[in-house]
A and B are shown apart, each in its own frame.
Chain A
Amino acid sequence: MEDNILEIKNLSTSFFTHLGEVKAVRDVSFSVEKGKVLGIVGESGSGKSVTALSCMRILQEPGRIVGGEILFKGEDLGKKSNKEMRAIRGNDISMIFQNPMSSMNAVLRVGDQLTEPLMEHTSISKKDAMKRAAELLSLVQIPDAEKRLRAYPHEFSGGMRQRAMIAMALACDPELLIADEPTTALDVTTQSQIIKLLSDIREKLGMSIILITHDLGVVAEICDSVVVMYGSMIMEEAPVDDIFHNACHPYTLGLLNSIPVVTGDSKNTRLEPIPGTPPNLLQPPPGCPFAPRCAYAMKVCTEKAPQNTQISDNHRSMCWLLHEDAPDNFLKRGNPIVR
């Protein structure tokens, strides 16, 4: 589709370790609309980062994409040479990570780190690059930008470092920004500043964002649509409002019931945790990865991977309860656990 900047089709990625094949991403498909924010939410180990690294084609050994297509503006990134991919990573797609310190060079001034990608990917002079770097720092609302160019990363607070990382990612005006847990290590106050910054920048520059997080609160604040991952598979995909108010997958509902309500009286309501622990991806359960923890699991759930059920145009759920052959249709029952 014209309106999608990125389309992932049936992506599968595995790590071939000495213990066996770790199926980190299984048959994942989703698309990112131009100018929109797509959230990927899920618990640790569910395959969020590996999905992003696969899109960027920066997987580390022994990881390998074993199937599927990654269409960026209609072109399959899987077919690009390494050289072409380097150009795409510099110009069109960029990525920021959870820990800014690990992706910044501790002994290089912030200004030099900002100008480096500019000078590598364009034929800009050092002087103009510095000017652009100062603009970028002001764009991410770092005060005294020009002066700060001479600072080293350790002289910045955690929030400022994350801002500088975002500035670096924006250096070449990417069309797609992939942000992997950009606020996870930060205080809520800094987190809300960074979320505001990302949504301002998105508006200003019109780019698209994939935001990876384990925090439903972050999803509610900034995302337009959401992909919920569990056990290396997509469980549910929907516009953000549907995820919070019309969730149709037991795992999504379980996540929502695990967090305290923010409005009203939170005291007398008991949290409803999801029992058990996430699956081991070396030996994932044969059927639905969520089956061992699912209160609604049926026999078929433990045997066969659930199929996609389209709830509406842009809302789908992977769950046997919704299948037309299921004994007592979940949706027809009026979605008993929706809160």
Chain B
Amino acid sequence: MSDKDIVLQVKNLVKYFPVKRQSIKAVDDVSFSVERGTTLGLVGESGCGKSTTARSIIRLYKPDSGDILIDGEDISGLSRKQLLPYRKKMQMIFQDPYSSLNERMTVSDIISESLLVHNICAPKDRKDHVISLLNKVGLSAGHANRYPHEFSGGQRQRIGIARALAVQPEIILCDEPISALDVSIQAQVINMLEDLQSELGLTYLFIAHDLSMVRHISKQMGVMYLGKIIELVDSEELYKNPLHPYSKGLLAANPTQDPRITKGDILLKGDVPSPLDVPSGCRFRTRCNYAKPICSEIEPELKGTDHQVACHLYQ
């Protein structure tokens, strides 16, 4: 590991939400690291803690425990003020291109807001900077003085990306950035994210429920289930050789996009259990066809070097 340039490292991240004297274990001991200039994809059914992981990393939520290292510096315990320089290194783009932009501000104001906060460029250069950002995301100078409602979903997502790029971040956390977009527009945004990554050396954490899209853009993939990462591996390897029964089920559920391929039978049955009532031992055991007695007693740890998996079948 030592020769790798790790820009983001998460160690034993925990985030619970209190509800009615109980707690939702939204993120429960999650660890991973992301190499500079690459993409880590997070997949899993809704409610598995993907967004909470991203939001805790960028400190929209205060983690209960665990370390978040940006370029080797732990930011998990920093105050708001101490965080400011790290906010510059890390930005987030959101799923809903409709609610994530302030309707009352012009595109130019939306993008320059963070320039002001971080005191990034001299006031006289600000306009040029905004225009160059707009050009980067495929919009033009003519768009600068318009309001969000004048744009389509795909264009709004571009504005969100331009806003994230404004502070020249190293890391962008992308939480379902394409889910609300039409198929033909999704590909536009994915290509743009790929181009920006190779041009600027950006590192992405990429969350989406379209598994084939996540695989397409990610070097590594983490599969989450009820607050845990249960498999973490190179994304091509995950597709060729998924180990965890949950990963197998998830991949099998993914449409083949070809009527000539008949799907295998590994249907994941039922729903994710309530996060208030997480099964003992392995959290997946209630839906697992391979569960053994040990699975309800001992929680399997995420083990392995290149191909990590948390399952008693492999320990």
Which A residues form the contact surface with B (CB < 8 A)?
Answer: 43-44, 157, 159-160, 187-193, 196, 214-218, 220-221, 223, 240-241, 244-245, 254-255, 257-263, 265-267, 270-275, 277-278
Do the beta carbons of A277 and B154 come within 8 Å of each other? yes
Do the beta carbons of A271 and B187 come within 8 Å of each other? yes
Total contacts A-B at CB 8 Å: 123
Do the beta carbons of A216 and B183 come within 8 Å of each other? yes
Mask of B151-174 contacts with A, CB within 8 angstroms, 1/0? 010110000000000000000000
Do the beta carbons of B255 and A188 come within 8 Å of each other? yes
Do the beta carbons of A266 and B261 come within 8 Å of each other? no
Find B255's partner among A160, A190, A220, A270 (CB 8 Å cutoff): A220
Q: List 9 A-B contacts (CB under 8 A).
A: A188-B211, A189-B250, A221-B256, A223-B259, A257-B187, A258-B184, A260-B215, A273-B188, A274-B187
Closest to B268 in A: A189
Do the beta carbons of B258 and A259 come within 8 Å of each other? no
Closest to A45 in B: B182
**B258 partner residues in chain A, CB cutoff 8 A:** 220, 244, 262-263
- Shortest beta-carbon contacts, A-B, top 9: A217-B255, A273-B187, A258-B187, A274-B184, A260-B216, A192-B253, A271-B187, A273-B188, A43-B182
Closest to A221 in B: B255
User: CA of A254 to CA of B184 in the docked complex: distance in angstroms?
Assistant: 7
Do the beta carbons of A217 and B257 come within 8 Å of each other? yes
**B190 partner residues in chain A, CB cutoff 8 A:** 271, 273
Number of chain B interface residues as a range: 35 or more
Known: A217-B255, A220-B256, A221-B256. A267 touches B216 (CB 8 A): yes
User: CA of A50 to CA of B154 in the docked complex: distance in angstroms?
Assistant: 23
User: CA of A31 to CA of B182 in the docked complex: distance in angstroms?
Assistant: 26
| B186 in the interface (beta carbon within 8 A) | yes
**A191 partner residues in chain B, CB cutoff 8 A:** 253, 255
Which B residues form the contact surface with A (CB < 8 A)?
Answer: 45-46, 152, 154-155, 182-188, 190-191, 194, 209, 211-213, 215-216, 235-236, 249-250, 252-261, 263, 267-269, 271
Find B236's partner among A215, A255, A258, A265 (CB 8 Å cutoff): A265
Nearest-neighbour CB distance to chain B for A40, whole angstroms, equals: 14
Do the beta carbons of B212 and A259 come within 8 Å of each other? yes
Given A192-B253, A220-B256, A273-B184: 5 more A-B contacts, CB < 8 Å: A193-B268, A220-B255, A245-B260, A263-B261, A277-B155
Do the beta carbons of B187 and A188 come within 8 Å of each other? no
**A240 partner residues in chain B, CB cutoff 8 A:** 259
Do the beta carbons of B259 and A275 come within 8 Å of each other? no
Do the beta carbons of A44 and B261 come within 8 Å of each other? no
Do the beta carbons of B184 and A260 come within 8 Å of each other? no
User: CA of A241 to CA of B235 in the docked complex: distance in angstroms?
Assistant: 29
Nearest-neighbour CB distance to chain B for A44, whole angstroms, equals: 6
User: CA of A214 to CA of B249 in the docked complex: distance in angstroms?
Assistant: 23
Do the beta carbons of B257 and A261 come within 8 Å of each other? yes
Closest to B194 in A: A270
**B186 partner residues in chain A, CB cutoff 8 A:** 258, 273
User: CA of A274 to CA of B190 in the docked complex: distance in angstroms?
Assistant: 12
Do the beta carbons of A196 and B183 come within 8 Å of each other? no
Find A189's partner among B253, B256, B263 (CB 8 Å cutoff): B253
The CB with the most chain B CB atoms within 10 A, among A44, A189, A218, is that of: A189
User: CA of A254 to CA of B185 in the docked complex: distance in angstroms?
Assistant: 11
User: CA of A273 to CA of B184 in the docked complex: distance in angstroms?
Assistant: 6
Nearest-neighbour CB distance to chain B for A242, whole angstroms, equals: 10
Known: A188-B211, A240-B259. A157 touches B271 (CB 8 A): yes
Find B267's partner among A44, A192, A278 (CB 8 Å cutoff): A192
Find B215's partner among A241, A255, A266 (CB 8 Å cutoff): A266
User: CA of A93 to CA of B249 in the docked complex: distance in angstroms?
Assistant: 34
Do the beta carbons of B213 and A260 come within 8 Å of each other? yes
Nearest-neighbour CB distance to chain B for A281, whole angstroms, equals: 14
User: CA of A192 to CA of B264 in the docked complex: distance in angstroms?
Assistant: 11
Find A262's partner among B212, B259, B268 (CB 8 Å cutoff): B212
Find B209's partner among A44, A187, A218, A271 (CB 8 Å cutoff): A187
**A196 partner residues in chain B, CB cutoff 8 A:** 267
**A193 partner residues in chain B, CB cutoff 8 A:** 267-269
Closest to A46 in B: B182
User: CA of A11 to CA of B261 in the docked complex: distance in angstroms?
Assistant: 34
User: CA of A213 to CA of B216 in the docked complex: distance in angstroms?
Assistant: 23
Known: A255-B184, A277-B185, A278-B182. A262 touches B256 (CB 8 A): yes
User: CA of A181 to CA of B235 in the docked complex: distance in angstroms?
Assistant: 29
**B191 partner residues in chain A, CB cutoff 8 A:** 270-271, 273
User: CA of A244 to CA of B259 in the docked complex: distance in angstroms?
Assistant: 7
Closest to A260 in B: B216
Find B182's partner among A214, A245, A267 (CB 8 Å cutoff): A214
Do the beta carbons of A277 and B152 come within 8 Å of each other? yes
The CB with the most chain A CB atoms within 10 A, among B45, B211, B259, is that of: B259
User: CA of A71 to CA of B50 in the docked complex: distance in angstroms?
Assistant: 48
Do the beta carbons of A214 and B260 come within 8 Å of each other? no
